Structure 1
Amino acid sequence: MVEDFLKEYAKLIADYPEKISTQRLNLDENFAEIIIYADKVDTGKLIGKNGKMINAIKTVISACKSKDLTSYKVSVKSLDE
């Protein structure tokens, strides 16, 4: 659910939405990492100036903790081609 939301949200921001993909890694029982893979051009847009965009995304995702009691770590990585 959370990774699908992040994928669709990132597609709205990206110049190359077809290259956006997400991966969920369950690190612990109540802790997961979601990695957003994007084109090199789009990684800067997703992180934002001084990290403001990724912090806003993390704030929205932290609200999901109230529903499923899972904490999320969100990171953005560039696709290596």
Structure 2
Amino acid sequence: MTSLIETIVKPLVDYPDEVRVKEVSEEHQVTYFIEVHKEDIGKIIGKQGRVAKAIRTVVSAAASQLDKKVHVKIQE
């Protein structure tokens, strides 16, 4: 799943080498933390959060076969 998130995020940013995806797995949920260069945060969030919402939608659709909730968070 981390490679999917990286594949989505890297073309959107100016500093693709600084994209980091961290996975934190718990009993009934998995949280993915996306870290990008501070100048790229706005590009990942998008206007009114549309890009972030689209990323979350794609990741949750890909993870629908898992029996866990999936969360995607963007870190500064």
What TM-score does the superposition give when structure 2 sets the normalisation length? 0.90
User: How is 1:2-81 mapped onto 2 (pairs within 5 angstroms)?
Assistant: 2-26=1-25, 28-78=26-76
CA deviation profile, 1:21-61 (whole Å, cap 9, x unmatched):
110011x3230110010001111100111100000111111
Moved over 2 A (4+): none
**SS of 2:4's equivalent?**
helix
Identity over aligned pairs, percent: 29
Q: Shift of the alpha carbon at 1:5?
A: 0.6
Name the TM-score, length of structure 1 as normaliser: 0.85
Aligned AA for 2:73? S
Gaps of 5+ in 2: none
Which ranges in structure 1 are unaligned for 5 or more consecutive residues?
Answer: none
Q: How far did 1:68 drift?
A: 1.9
Residue type matched to 1:6 in 2?
A: I
Report the count of equivalent residues: 76
